[in-house]
Structure formats: structure tokens, C-alpha cells
């Protein structure tokens, strides 16, 4: 019998970063951690209109969660900067390129993956048809937003996303996923120290 390895990225570490207005997507994006990121973003925005940072190290995950997070990123009054730490795949790539223009970055050896994802369609013929229509709508929505965020033509985005396409940090900058490759700490270092329960 094997025991689950304890997570080293503890709640305390997350809270320390949260107080500095830094949120982290580590691992797959699902409905649970997606909701956490959305509510944290909204909470920080209610506290101040200063920038919020979203750091990403993720193999991808839930499409509804990533679309909802993007909606919140556009809704909050301050900018949401994004940073690819090591891996930003699929939903991770989408959130990375959804950051505020001029504030999307990647570490030098980060890898970014764009693809359309899997469908998971099953059921009766009628159910398959309905699912296929919904899948096409979602695909077109996602690819349209990627085109908007990168400045690429929608037809190129569609073609490039048909199969897994990997990008280095430099290639991601050229393609439009990010604006810069990090070369100094000052570009990403959290500086805000949020105070709780303390009045001036």
C-alpha cells in the first residue's frame, strides 16, 4: 500500500503569495481549483484595483473553468499579468495568453502547448449530434479568443491547433502568446504586501 505524497505547495505558501496578490495554477485545472482562482481574483479586486499576478505551471484541464477565469480576468478593474513558470499546456496556454497586454511573460525554459483538446463524445446518435454542436461552438469560441489575444489569423490558429504544437518561450513570444521572456527578477517579483485586519 502506498501513501499519497504530501503536497509541498502548502496552503500557507499559497496564502503568503495571495497576500502579495499572486495566484498560482499548479497542476491540472479543474472545477474546484478553477473556482478557487476565480473567487480569489474577485476578492483581491474588491480589496484594491492593483494588478493581480497569475503564475501558471499546468498541463491543462477544464475548458469551462478556463473560460470562466478569463471572464473574471477581463471583469476585474486592475490588470491580471500572467507568467508561465515551466509548463503551460492547453488551458494553461489559454490563460497565459489571456493576460493583460504587455504583461504576459514566460521563464526562459518554459514550454507552451496549443491544441484543441479531446472531445469525449459518446451516447446515442441524437446525443452525439447535440454534443458535437456544443463542441464546435466551444472550439470556435476558444480559438477565436486565442486569435484575439495573439493577433494571429483565426485560420492559422485553427490549423496550428489541429495537432499538438509546442513552443519555446521565444517562439511563444513571436507567436503572440506572451509579450516577453523573463530576464530579471523585477519583471515578476511580487511587491504588494496585503494587510488583513489592520487599519491605518
- In angstroms, the CA 181 to CA 142 distance is 24
Residues 6 or more apart in contact with residue 142 via CB below 8 angstroms: 63, 67, 94, 116
Q: Could you give the CA distance from residue 152 to residue 161 in angstroms, rounded to a whole number?
A: 12
Determine how β-strand 111-114 pairs with β-strand 165-168.
antiparallel
Residues carrying an active site annotation? 90, 115
Give the other-Cβ count within 10 Å of 177's Cβ.
27
Residue of 106, 90, 112 whose CA lies nearest to 181: 106
**Cα–Cα dist 132/188, whole Å:** 41
Amino acid at each position: 500500500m502506498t501513501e499519497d505524497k504530501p503536497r509541498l505547495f502548502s496552503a500557507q505558501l499559497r496564502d503568503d503569495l495571495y497576500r502579495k496578490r499572486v495566484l498560482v495554477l499548479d497542476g491540472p485545472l479543474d472545477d474546484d481549483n478553477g473556482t478557487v482562482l476565480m473567487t480569489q481574483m474577485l476578492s483581491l479586486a474588491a480589496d484594491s484595483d492593483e494588478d493581480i499576478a497569475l503564475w501558471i505551471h499546468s498541463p491543462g484541464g477544464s475548458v469551462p473553468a478556463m473560460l470562466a477565469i478569463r471572464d473574471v480576468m477581463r471583469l476585474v478593474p486592475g490588470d491580471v499579468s500572467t507568467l508561465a513558470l515551466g509548463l503551460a499546456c492547453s488551458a494553461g496556454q489559454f490563460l497565459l495568453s489571456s493576460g493583460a497586454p504587455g504583461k504576459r511573460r514566460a521563464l526562459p525554459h518554459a514550454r507552451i502547448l496549443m491544441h484543441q483538446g479531446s472531445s469525449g463524445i459518446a451516447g446515442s446518435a441524437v446525443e452525439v449530434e447535440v454534443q458535437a454542436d456544443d463542441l464546435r461552438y466551444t472550439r470556435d469560441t476558444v480559438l477565436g479568443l486565442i486569435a484575439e489575444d495573439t493577433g494571429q489569423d483565426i485560420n492559422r490558429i485553427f490549423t496550428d491547433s489541429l495537432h499538438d504544437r509546442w513552443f519555446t518561450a521565444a517562439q511563444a513570444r513571436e507567436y503572440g502568446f506572451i509579450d516577453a521572456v523573463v530576464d530579471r527578477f523585477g519583471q515578476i517579483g511580487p511587491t504588494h504586501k496585503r494587510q488583513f485586519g489592520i487599519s491605518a
